[in-house]
Amino acid sequence: MNKKQIIRNFISYQKLAVLSTINQEGKPQSAVLEFGDTENLEIIFDTFPSARKYKNLKQNKNVSLVIGWDDNITIQYEGKAEELSGKELEKYKKEFFKKNPSAQRWEARGVKYFKVIPKWIRYSDLNKDPWEIFDIIF
């Protein structure tokens, strides 16, 4: 199995991630959130316009995520977040709702959707001896 497929398999079974954004003062802010994912290792999430992360993303699209922390396997992920709209929004919402069907209840409340395009991903499996750690740069 190639490195991209190892990452894809792991991410596809995870439901929560920690997303970090940068506020207007240049300080990091993090939040746990549900996410969806695509074959291209893009991450999809939703947020309310009143949330700190939404305001931060309007100023700075650089984000990092940590996915997985149980079982000594984790993904560190850096990328650029883009707010979704139009046909692209509909396409990505389908992927997001496949993994998070209960999130549809927030649609009537004006949530916004983002995709994160990966720039760098590190996979770490500390169960192996030696540890299996590798990076993918996009």
Looking at the 3D structure of the chain, how many domains does it have?
1
Q: What angle do CA 97, 100, 103 make, to 5 degrees?
A: 85
Q: Dump pLDDT digits (tens) for 27-68.
A: 999 999 999 999 999 999 999 999 999 999 999 999 999 999
pTM, entire model = 0.95
Q: Are 121 and 77 in contact (CB under 8 A)?
A: yes
Phi, psi of 75 (to 5 degrees): -120, 130
Q: What is the pLDDT of residue 107?
A: 85
Confidence of residue 70 (pLDDT cuts 50, 70, 90): confident
Per-residue pLDDT, averaged over 82-110, amounts to: 93
Enclosing domain of residue 76: 3-137
127: domain CATH number is: 2.30.110.10
Q: Which amino acid is at 72?
A: N
> Which three-class secondary structure state does DSSP give residue 92?
helix
